[in-house]
Structure 1
Amino acid sequence: MSRTEKKSSSDGETTPQAPLVNESIRGSKSRFPKAGSRKESIDPKTTDSQSQNKIPKTISDLAKTLTSETELGSRMEENEWFLQKLGRKAVNKCLDLNNCRLTAADVRETVALLPSLPDLEKLDISWNDVIGGNLHVFTQQMHLVSKLKILRLGSCRLTAEDVRALGQLLPRLQNLEVLDLSINRNIGGSLNSIAHGLKSTSNLKVLKLHSCGLSQKSVKLLDAAFRYLRELRTLDLSCNKELGGGFEDTAGLATLEHLEGLDLHQCSLTADDVLSLTHVIPLLSSLQELDLSANKEMGSSSENLLSRLRFLPVLKSLIISNCALKSETFTALAEASIHLPALKIVNLSWNKCIGGNLKLLLETLKRSMSLQVLRLSSCSLVTEDVALLASVIQTGHLARLQKLDLSYNDSICEAGWTIFCQNLWLLKELTELDISLRPSTFRKCGQWFRHLLSAVTKLPKITEIGMKRWLLSASQEEELQGFDQDQRSSIHFDHGGFQ
């Protein structure tokens, strides 16, 4: 598996508009007396005590007030300069210092910002190695941003001491909704403090612990905390290879009745884990995204689990790639998928048993009117499979498809690619197509290439066509160059080049 890339997540955050630092400066300056302003008479008999308290009683008091306001304005200007130096700014209620290569001095200056950001709701300091070993500097001042809703500390090389400091901190963040600690390998060994702190974050909606060195014991600790996280919407425990066996006899996961996204890919799930999840996952009726990829034990033990996916009526994304599915498990999945009309993303790549058996998904492909992404890479597809897919396209059942991946299926003959390309033009929403060959395989393009070019001229949204290791003849290269000139488009053909 490739290293997880940094990406922005849609956690329901509102895109901020106005710079918070500038607002604070304007706010402080507005309290200064304006030159030429009209003086108002104040009758001590009619003015209430509250108004009197707001007026400096002496020239000395007035001087102190002005000095304080001036210092605040100066401090805010220094803070804004610091952020500009990093190429960032505090926008509205968000401070994003993600991947800024912070130094120890920068950390101290960032902490100095916190008193001027009392309404801060999002803090992202991910991908800054210097945070590791220095998180306590933040936690000591985090009480100043008690309204914090989103905290991201991904890939910060957090130490065991950092993790413990964070577990003292969590109970004080009563408004926390998103906690991302991904790619911090030392969290697994000190998870007990995090799990204990999570029990006080009842408003938490997103918890990401991707690649955190979690173990079987970690799952038990988290399972005890799940009972307090009834509002949780997204749970990511992926890429924790020592986690396998931890889901045996767990019940807390079943209490997450509002859970919408569950990611357990590459977790070395055992047959007993799968058995436990067989009883839990069908109870998560709000589930919209499920990723069980790269768990090889699923191939021979997940028949019952996959058959019960039919009880997830709002499931939109189903990713079960590289799970070594067997014929019986794929059959169970195909039968269950008929009952999942909301599916938008289906990824079954790297499951060889699909080759020659794509017909089992025929009814699903016909009924999934909302399907947008279909990935069948390296599934040992044969010519009959592609012909079946072409017939489904011809009848208009995949009209909303946007991304189609048929790469690394080298057993499809020229006749199969021809009939596929002849019907490709019907996918009017298609933006990406990948029919690349395996790295070890090179083949010459047949006559189907001309049908491909013809289809592309009728696809208004297509931008990317993967054709790696397909070799073009001289005449085909000329056709492609002529196509580029005629279409004057931004379509990128990624092919094996001229030969």
Structure 2
Amino acid sequence: MSQRRKKNSSDGETKPRTSFVNKFFRSSKLRPTKAESRKKSNDLEAADFQPSDDAQKTENILDTANKPLTSEMELGSRREKNEQFLQKLGRKAVNKCLDLNNCGLTTEDVREVVALLPLLPDLEKLDISWNDLIGGTLHSVTQQMHLVSKLKILRLGSCRLTTDDVRALGEALEAIPELEELNLSWNSKVGGNLPLILQKFQEGSKIQTLELVDCDLTSEDGVFVGQLLPMMQNLEVLDLSINRNIGGSLNSIAQGLKSTSNLKVLKLHSCGLSQKSVRILDAAFRYLCELRKLDLSCNKELGGGFEDSSAQLAMLEHLEVLDLHQCSLTVDDVVSLTQVIPLLSSLQELDLSANKKMGGSSENLLSRLRFLPALKSLLINNCALQSETFTALAEASAHLPALEVFDLSWNKCIGGNLKLLLETLKFSESLQVLRLSSCSLVTEDVAVLASLIQTGHLAKLQKLILSYNDSVCDTGWAIFCQNMWFLKELTELDISLRPSTSRDCGQWFRHLLCAVATLPKITEIGMKRWTLPATQEEELERFHQDHRCSIHFDRGEFQEADFSRLN
């Protein structure tokens, strides 16, 4: 995530940054250089310790903003300035929503926002997330919070908040009693200082969503969260993911969860949970009768915890999403979950991926998935499935009429046995995404898939991922490409080779181009490490010239062809 932020903030180093509003209005405007960003950051840090012209200007703006409007002329002038500002932002009807997320805001931009807030008394949503240089300047915004007391949504994710920002925010939250959503994710200084922010929350708080992802929360912060939860009777979403130190304070958190009967989403992804954590949480599940989504993924020490501690999980009758990927599930965990998961009749999404020990022990669990008719997404990639477990899964899939996403990638046993699955998937009328990457598929598998497509099945398929199946010969790809044109809804196809290999495209490439020409929605074709001889390069060029389309042929480190042509 941090890499994405850095990329967004450093694109284009050749054009100087003019004003924030013009940059925001022109979506193609380029970002400041990293050197400029560092300089601005240093300027902000210096501003914390000594007065400056910028600070004086901010104070003047605050003084002006706090003065009452004395005439209709002044009111009209402010409204005109407001309209001009919003026009440059390229936004409409922003009187209740001001979304400035990922805009590369600078100190000057913050002053513009500060001046704007008094003109938006009905503001309900303020999002200034993913603006690194907000850190150290938030106090100028929080001083105006009393003027937007109707604020319901405040998002400050990844703003590099300082301890002073955190303290200022805590004071300001008292001025916005209608607040329903608070997002402080990806701000490391929140960790160890959480009470400074949330200490003003009173019993009966209207907070419905609290997101504190990757905030470097301490065990003490976890204890504080547990004590705070009983005051948030309206809480519906709690996301504490990627805070690896709160596992030790789970007792306190779970105790607080017992008072949040309206909770619908609980995310504890990568929180350092252990085997004991399952038992602690299981005791709280009986009080969370409205829970819709439970994410315990990427807690590698969780394995073995479900053996005797999952009875209450079955009571979550409204649960729609269960994510247990990469939890090191053991054989005994699978046996226990076999008794529980089939009882979750409302389940729509199930992710058991990257639990390799369940490969030879999940036959009963997978066969009983037939009791989940509402299931829309089933992810079992990289689970080391064996022939028996794959057969059980294939048979169960015939009883999943709502299935839209099916990911079986990185299960080698599927190679040579895909027919078992396709025999049942031909009854599926909802499947939109099928992922079979690195499944050791052979030519016969692809031929069977092509035959199924030819008969009109899988008609709603939008994404088909067949990458890293290098054992398929040119004949197999030719048969597939000749029948691909039946997939009228297809938007993405990936047939890339493994990173360690490369091959020349066979005559099937011509069939691929012919099929693509008839597919109205396809935009992406993954062909990494396939090379094109000169004659096929010419065919590709003619294809570009003869057809009006916008398709990206991703050919990785070898070549890339990006064809765009206006209709």
Q: TM-score range by the shorter chain?
A: 0.7 to 0.9
1:353 aligns with 2:413: yes
1:239 corresponding residue in structure 2:
298
Query: Partners in 1 of 2:314 and 2:127 — Cα distance?
Result: 46
Query: Partners in 1 of 2:352 and 2:229 — Cα distance?
Result: 29
Q: Which 5+ residue runs of structure 1 have no aligned equivalent?
A: 7-24, 36-72
The correspondence of residues 289-308 of structure 1 with structure 2, limited to 5 A, is 289-308=349-368
Alignment CA distance shift 1:78-1:247 (3 Å): farther
Q: Which 5+ residue runs of structure 2 have no aligned equivalent?
A: 6-61, 73-113, 142-147, 561-567
1:397 aligns with 2:432: no
Match of 2:171 among 107, 112, 116: 112
Query: Partners in 2 of 1:169 and 1:335 — Cα distance?
Result: 47
1:225 corresponding residue in structure 2:
284
1:154 corresponding residue in structure 2:
213
2:253 corresponding residue in structure 1:
194
Match of 2:333 among 273, 285, 291: 273
Alignment CA distance shift 1:427-1:346 (3 Å): same
1:122 aligns with 2:181: yes
What per-residue deviation string (whole Å, max 9, x for no partner) do you get for residues 399-453 of structure 1? 1100000000000010100010011111111111100001111111000111111
Match of 1:185 among 237, 244, 249: 244
SS in 1 for 2:359: helix
Higher mean C-alpha displacement, 310-319 vs 75-84: 75-84
1:118 Cα shift? 1.3
SS in 2 for 1:123: strand
Indicate conservation of the 8 Å contact 2:405/2:432, yes or no.
yes
Alignment CA distance shift 1:82-1:361 (3 Å): closer
Query: Partners in 2 of 1:76 and 1:455 — Cα distance?
Result: 54
SS in 1 for 2:554: strand
Higher mean C-alpha displacement, 198-207 vs 473-482: 473-482
Match of 2:478 among 414, 418, 421: 418
What per-residue deviation string (whole Å, max 9, x for no partner) do you get for residues 50-84 of structure 1? xxxxxxxxxxxxxxxxxxxxxxx999649999969
1:492 corresponding residue in structure 2:
552
Indicate conservation of the 8 Å contact 2:170/2:198, yes or no.
no
1:22 corresponding residue in structure 2:
none
Query: Partners in 2 of 1:105 and 1:364 — Cα distance?
Result: 60
1:136 aligns with 2:195: yes
1:207 aligns with 2:266: yes
2:500 corresponding residue in structure 1:
440
SS in 2 for 1:416: helix
Query: Partners in 1 of 2:555 and 2:382 — Cα distance?
Result: 25
1:262 Cα shift? 0.3
Query: Partners in 1 of 2:169 and 2:425 — Cα distance?
Result: 52
1:103 corresponding residue in structure 2:
162
User: How many residues in Structure 1 have an aligned counterpart in Structure 2?
Assistant: 442
Indicate conservation of the 8 Å contact 1:317/1:345, yes or no.
yes
Indicate conservation of the 8 Å contact 1:402/1:430, yes or no.
yes
Query: Partners in 2 of 1:409 and 1:244 — Cα distance?
Result: 31
Query: Partners in 2 of 1:199 and 1:75 — Cα distance?
Result: 42
Match of 1:340 among 386, 392, 400: 400
1:480 Cα shift? 1.9
Query: Partners in 2 of 1:383 and 1:353 — Cα distance?
Result: 15
Query: Partners in 2 of 1:166 and 1:201 — Cα distance?
Result: 12
Alignment CA distance shift 1:227-1:5 (3 Å): farther
Alignment CA distance shift 1:180-1:75 (3 Å): same
Indicate conservation of the 8 Å contact 1:118/1:145, yes or no.
no
1:323 corresponding residue in structure 2:
383
Indicate conservation of the 8 Å contact 1:233/1:261, yes or no.
yes
SS in 2 for 1:182: coil
Give the letter aligned to residue 159 of structure 2.
C
Indicate conservation of the 8 Å contact 1:472/1:498, yes or no.
no
Give the letter aligned to residue 365 of structure 1.
L
SS in 1 for 2:154: strand
SS in 2 for 1:158: coil
What per-residue deviation string (whole Å, max 9, x for no partner) do you get for residues 31-50 of structure 1? 99999xxxxxxxxxxxxxxx
Indicate conservation of the 8 Å contact 2:337/2:365, yes or no.
yes
2:31 corresponding residue in structure 1:
none
1:375 aligns with 2:435: yes
What per-residue deviation string (whole Å, max 9, x for no partner) do you get for residues 321-353 of structure 1? 000001000001111111111100000000000
1:465 aligns with 2:525: yes
* Length-normalised TM-score, structure 1: 0.83
SS in 1 for 2:444: helix
1:469 Cα shift? 0.6
1:167 corresponding residue in structure 2:
226
Higher mean C-alpha displacement, 472-481 vs 393-402: 472-481
Query: Partners in 1 of 2:162 and 2:548 — Cα distance?
Result: 47
Query: Partners in 2 of 1:132 and 1:177 — Cα distance?
Result: 22
SS in 2 for 1:300: coil
Higher mean C-alpha displacement, 154-163 vs 469-478: 469-478
Indicate conservation of the 8 Å contact 1:477/1:498, yes or no.
no
Query: Partners in 1 of 2:551 and 2:242 — Cα distance?
Result: 35
Q: Which one has a bigger Cα radius of gyration?
A: 1
Query: Partners in 2 of 1:82 and 1:104 — Cα distance?
Result: 20
Query: Partners in 2 of 1:230 and 1:195 — Cα distance?
Result: 14
Alignment CA distance shift 1:433-1:240 (3 Å): same
Indicate conservation of the 8 Å contact 2:221/2:246, yes or no.
no
* Length-normalised TM-score, structure 2: 0.73
Alignment CA distance shift 1:224-1:82 (3 Å): closer
Indicate conservation of the 8 Å contact 2:151/2:176, yes or no.
no
1:116 Cα shift? 2.8
SS in 2 for 1:108: helix
Indicate conservation of the 8 Å contact 1:76/1:116, yes or no.
no
Query: Partners in 2 of 1:94 and 1:358 — Cα distance?
Result: 48
Give the letter aligned to residue 424 of structure 1.
M
Alignment CA distance shift 1:190-1:5 (3 Å): farther
1:363 Cα shift? 2.8
Indicate conservation of the 8 Å contact 1:383/1:416, yes or no.
yes
Query: Partners in 2 of 1:144 and 1:120 — Cα distance?
Result: 14
| Structure of greater relative contact order (alpha carbons < 8 Å, 6+ residues apart) | 1
Indicate conservation of the 8 Å contact 2:219/2:247, yes or no.
no
1:456 corresponding residue in structure 2:
516
Indicate conservation of the 8 Å contact 1:216/1:247, yes or no.
yes
1:314 aligns with 2:374: yes
**Identity among equivalent pairs (%):** 71
1:482 Cα shift? 2.9
1:490 Cα shift? 2.9
Indicate conservation of the 8 Å contact 1:139/1:166, yes or no.
no
